[in-house]
Amino acid sequence: MPNGQNLENDPDRPKIFRIRIQGHLGQQWTNWFDGFTITLEEDGNTLLAGLVTDQSALHGILKKIRDLGMPLLSVLSIDPNQQTGNS
């Protein structure tokens, strides 16, 4: 690999993220979260899922969650080539 860099760990490579927050977030927030899918879970939490272009964009999304005052439960990056239904 050029420069010994592992592309899977490249922070500027687009990745799919699943971000779980405590509480239910209404569907009206979809546009504010740059087209992320908002899934309301039975346990009262919300799952935000979508493509994040780079680390700067991820930090912007996390800042929005902070600004809403909703507790962050987890942040998980998913390999876009991975086909799984697990969250």
Task: Decide if 65 is inside a domain.
Answer: yes
CA distances to 1, 9, 17, 77 from 65, rounded to whole Å, are 36, 24, 14, 17
Q: Which sign does the torsion angle of CA 41, 34, 68, 27 carry?
A: negative
How confident is the model over 17-46, as pLDDT tens digits? Answer: 999 999 998 778 878 887 789 999 999 999
pTM, rounded to two decimals = 0.77
Task: Decide if 40 is inside a domain.
Answer: yes
Task: Decide if 34 is inside a domain.
Answer: yes
Q: What CATH number is associated with residue 64? A: 3.30.70.1150
How confident is the model over 37-85, as pLDDT tens digits? Answer: 999 999 999 999 999 988 999 999 999 999 999 999 999 998 766 655 5
- Domain residues for the domain of 18 are 13-78
Where would I find the beta strands (DSSP E) of 23-83?
A: 37-40, 45-52, 72-78
